[in-house]
Every structure is written in structure tokens, then in C-alpha cells.
A and B are shown apart, each in its own frame.
Chain A
């Protein structure tokens, strides 16, 4: 079975541009979460979506937004890119909304975003 897939794997942008990152969850998983991982740090929670609704949001500015589609895939959008947005962006999926379950999240290998 396919795991969580993310695209693109690598991306280079310049300051001020916007970017869209995509994620396809494991088949049957309805919850998708997004994380940002800066080099040398653990992943930091950005968003969680379940059944196309936002269920949680981390401490990130409004430049970050996301959505989930009827097929449970998801997009993360970042506007007005800053140098500090350079990071590995990880998508994770789980069977149910993490808020009411101990189902583990399964991660993709991320999109490496570099801002010049």
C-alpha cells in the first residue's frame, strides 16, 4: 500500500513569492496534518484537517493556509515567503481526527522548500 505522498520533493522560491505544497494521505485516512521542520529542530505543528474542516492550528502567521479536498488530499499554501520559511514541510495522515483518538500519524518524506 502507498504511504503518504507529497509533491514536489524539492522547491526553490524567492522572497515574496507564494507556494503550494500537496499531500495525498494513505488510502482510507481522513485526517491530514501539516508540520514545518527547520534544520536541527523537531517538526512544528501547523494545521490539522479532518473531513475537510480545520480542526487545529499551530502558532503560525496568517500567511500560512491550508485546505482539504473531498478525496482527503490536502494543500498547504504559504504567501509572501520569507527566508525563515526555508524548511522541510511534512504531511501526516491518520485514520481519525487525532483530537479524539490515539491513532498514530503516518508521515510523508516532506517537501524541502528553500527560499533565496
Chain B
């Protein structure tokens, strides 16, 4: 099973761009990389998903290098409401299980 490593915490200020990098050295060929955001006492919320190169949506961008052993979630111009825990996951596809494997995530604190 592919495991992920990401920083425990990060601090930023409003209006800055935040980049959170995740390492997944054992990613399998068919695995996708997915990022979730979680606020206290709420369930995780899907942010973005990608397989290679770059993916962008209305809230974030995901950069994946050619070797796919890491990925970077980029949040443009963060606000106080972006304070949350961000999880990087590598989805196991195929086989008998389709579970998501969460690590401890990165606690992002955005300050005014």
C-alpha cells in the first residue's frame, strides 16, 4: 500500500500562496493522488485529484512531477477560512479493496 508523508503543520498569512508537498515513493502505476480538506468536527471535503503533470480547478492546483513520487497542492491567496487540515492520499485501485489511506495530514494555520 502506498504511504504518504507530508509536513505536520504549516503557517501562512492571508493573501499568500501556500504550497503543501506530499511524498509517496511507493505509488503504483494505476494510483491517483487525491487531496482532501477537513475542518474541525466536519468530514473531509474533496479538493482535487490528479494522475500526472498539472491539474487546476477553482480552488487549487495540483503539481505532479514525471516520476510521480511526490505532489504539491497549491492554494492561491489563502484566507483565514482556509485554516484546516489537508490530507494527501494515494488511492489503491484494483484488487479487493478500494479504501482510502489517510495519514495525519498537514495542519495549515492562516494568520491575518
Q: Total interface residues on A, using CB and 8 Å?
A: 32
- Cα A44 to Cα B89 with chains together (Å): 12
Q: Which of B15-23, B42-50, B63-71, B74-82 contacts A (4 or more CB under 8 A)?
A: B42-50
Is A44 a contact of B93 with CB atoms below 8 Å?
no
Query: Pick the contact of A99 from B36, B97, B101 — CB < 8 Å?
Result: B97
Per the 8 Å Cβ criterion, residues 48-90 of A in contact with B are: 48, 55-58, 88, 90
| Majority secondary structure, B binding face | loop
Q: B94 at the A/B interface (Cβ < 8 Å)?
A: yes
Chain A residues within an 8 Å CB radius of B100: 33, 35, 43, 45, 92, 98, 105
Query: Pick the contact of A104 from B34, B94, B95 — CB < 8 Å?
Result: B34
A108 and B43 in contact (CB under 8 A), knowing A56-B96, A100-B98?
Answer: yes
Residue of A nearest to B92 (CB): A99
CB distance from A35 to the nearest CB of B (A): 8
Is A105 a contact of B97 with CB atoms below 8 Å?
no
CB distance from B96 to the nearest CB of A (A): 6
Is B43 a contact of A42 with CB atoms below 8 Å?
no
Residue of A nearest to B89 (CB): A42
Question: Footprint of A on B, CB under 8 Å?
Answer: 32, 34, 36, 41-46, 49, 51, 87, 91-105
A selection of 6 A-B contacts at a CB cut-off of 8 Å is A90-B44, A99-B92, A99-B97, A100-B98, A104-B49, A107-B36
